[in-house]
Structure 1
Amino acid sequence: MSVTEYAIGVESDGPYGVVVAGGEVWTTLVHAGRIATRSGRVVDLDAAESRPSVIVDGPDDAVWFTRNGDDRVGRIGYDGVVSAVELAGAPYGLCVGPDGALWCTLMSADAIGRVTVDGEVSTYPIGTAGAFPAMIASYGGELWFTLNQGNAIGRMTTGGAVTTCPLPTEAAGPVGISAGPEAVWFVEIQADRVGRISVDGKIEEFPLPAGCKPHAVAAAADGGCWVTLWAAGALARLDAEGNITDQYDLGTGSEPHGLAIDGDWVWVALEKGSVAHIQP
């Protein structure tokens, strides 16, 4: 196993989300209003308070990302063209939906937003006030999202119909979510657990080290997942049965947030000012 770090900007820039797209590793600099790549390219969004957060590989030769601080969803084409679409409600989580559009959580609006690659915007209420929708993933032709303050997993059809699945553990604080081959994985930051929900609504929960505060999760092809342990400064690997098989120390104060799987490799954004490359 090897862990290699690449400095991105300065510590105060705060690398947050990460994605592998177009042959490059991209990360959002949440405190600086910039997007950067591992190879050294930096894109200034000319909006220091925009808080770029979650970033994904789009369906149109571009990366897309939420701008939580100024109510926009941004886009950077592989050709270098930068643009943004206005979408009120503090957009945060983001994914490519089953229909090829970009879907995002609107934390302050208790809604889910949809943006087409042509810039057409729609919003759908989740029907639960104060639920604070966080991360979102596409699975089985629907959108699945964590309700951080609602203590539940929500699922929405592309037509806007919502089903809510309450979590067994009270005040669990679900955040990250990721679709695997046969189920959807999520993390409970307040309960120090990883959860899994099947398409029929069955929920399982698996313990993590006490006080680790898991933040992001990425489903693996073998049915397991990777999880960033924010408070512990570490990365954990779980098998398909929910057992921790490996744990990698990323250093005190590293504050790992987003992660991305690239074949057998894993990339993690460390808010201390770098991205880490883990090669198991």
Structure 2
Amino acid sequence: MTRIAELIEVAEEGAGPYGVAVGPDGGVWFTLVHAGEIGRLAADGTVERYGLGAPECGPAVLTVGPDGALWFTRMRDHRIGRIDTDGKASSFAVPTAGAGPYGIAAGPDGALWFTELNADRIGRITVEGEVTEYPLPRAGAFPSFITAGPDGALWCTLNQADAVARITVGGEVAVHPLPTGGTAPVGITAGADGALWYVGIGGGLVGRITVDGEVTEYPLADRAARPHAITCGPDGRLWFTEWGAGRIGVLGPDGQLDGHRLPGPAAEPHGIAVGPDGAVYAALERGSIARLAPRQG
């Protein structure tokens, strides 16, 4: 399907749009990692920005919580943030000093689950702010993105271990090594086919892993594209950002890879989300949100 790419300026250069999610209010919410703010893009193009009282806190990845608020990681001051759709923000400390919380996702147990880049741990936080941490069996694994799987467990990428880990809601961890050395997986999402899909920023590939640990790889034509984040659309297609190439990639259910180049130089797309209408949103480091909408007719 042909897509129209639109760039919407949401911040000044250097503010760093990074994570993005479509909120329950229909707004597109995003983090400004270098400005220490959360932003909201309305359907009419209006942008609102909310300070977090800590400009250096480094808000990174965000997700919709079970309570209808947006939850996000603050990787530089090691806290988990929460913001209502009316812009009221709060945060909770992570117990392990210097943990570096990064990926975050809503779990099947009514809590939020997050990764700790620097501490080789997976964290769980209730909507009341109670945190539990679970150690990973690999030192220096650099756990990155996390997602709820179709099997009732959480799945996360282990960037420096070239592996994908599964953690049950009870804290039991299993690690699945990936076949290609140097894959350096980052983004991961649940697909419509009952499997998990990830992207390898080092290997230049999209990978599929079943709940039993069977892996299939789809190498990109441009192995230097540095795919970063991935999400599944309502039609089952997988959308991912190609940070090093300034493109939005897509993998269809038939295994066909395609891509959409973003206009202008130095786009540096990071987070990605798909709205219920099929529109794709990506956060661009240079200060924009890219919107790819299906071409009518």
TM-score, length-scaled by structure 1: 0.97
Q: Check the 8 A contact 1:214/1:229 in 2, yes or no.
A: yes
The superposition leaves residues 106-139 of structure 1 with CA deviations (integer Å, 9 ceiling, x where unpaired) of 1111000000001111000111111000000001
Partner of 1:279: 293
Q: Check the 8 A contact 2:78/2:101 in 1, yes or no.
A: yes
Match of 1:269 among 265, 279, 283: 283
Partner of 2:239: 226
The superposition leaves residues 24-61 of structure 1 with CA deviations (integer Å, 9 ceiling, x where unpaired) of 11110000101111122111111111100001111112
Partner of 1:68: 75
1:30 aligns with 2:45: no
- Cα drift, residue 145 of structure 1: 0.2
Helix, strand or coil: the match of 1:13? coil
Q: Check the 8 A contact 1:197/1:204 in 2, yes or no.
A: yes
- Which sits farther off after the overlay, 243-252 or 117-126? 243-252
2:60 is aligned with what amino acid? S
Partner of 1:42: 49
Q: Distance in 1 between matches of 2:31 and 2:259?
A: 27
Q: Which runs of structure 2 are paired with 1:186-197 in the superposition (5 Å)? A: 186-197=198-209
Q: Which runs of structure 2 are paired with 1:197-216 in the superposition (5 Å)? A: 197-208=209-220, 209-216=222-229
Q: Distance in 1 between matches of 2:186 and 2:155?
A: 12
Q: Distance in 2 between matches of 1:40 and 1:161?
A: 42
Match of 2:266 among 253, 256, 259: 253
Unaligned runs of 5+ in 1: none
1:99 aligns with 2:109: yes
Q: Check the 8 A contact 1:224/1:241 in 2, yes or no.
A: no
Q: Check the 8 A contact 1:224/1:242 in 2, yes or no.
A: no
Residue identity over aligned pairs, in percent, reads 46
Q: Check the 8 A contact 2:103/2:115 in 1, yes or no.
A: yes
1:125 aligns with 2:135: yes
Q: Check the 8 A contact 1:180/1:221 in 2, yes or no.
A: no
1:173 aligns with 2:184: yes
Q: Which has the higher strand share?
A: 1
1:53 aligns with 2:60: yes
Q: Distance in 2 between matches of 1:218 and 1:59?
A: 19
1:94 is aligned with what amino acid? I
2:8 is aligned with what amino acid? Y
Helix, strand or coil: the match of 1:11? coil
- Cα drift, residue 250 of structure 1: 4.1
Q: Distance in 2 between matches of 1:171 and 1:160?
A: 27
Unaligned runs of 5+ in 2: none
Q: Distance in 2 between matches of 1:250 and 1:93?
A: 28
Q: Check the 8 A contact 1:195/1:206 in 2, yes or no.
A: yes
Match of 2:195 among 183, 187, 201: 183
2:30 is aligned with what amino acid? T
Q: Distance in 2 between matches of 1:177 and 1:67?
A: 19
Helix, strand or coil: the match of 2:244? coil
Q: Distance in 1 between matches of 2:87 and 2:244?
A: 35
Q: Which runs of 4+ in 1 moved over 6 A?
A: none
Q: Distance in 2 between matches of 1:251 and 1:212?
A: 16
- Cα drift, residue 241 of structure 1: 3.7
Cα 1:242–1:251 change in 2 (3 A) is farther
1:145 is aligned with what amino acid? C
Partner of 2:17: 15
The superposition leaves residues 178-220 of structure 1 with CA deviations (integer Å, 9 ceiling, x where unpaired) of 1112111100000100001011111011011121000010123
Q: Distance in 2 between matches of 1:210 and 1:81?
A: 42
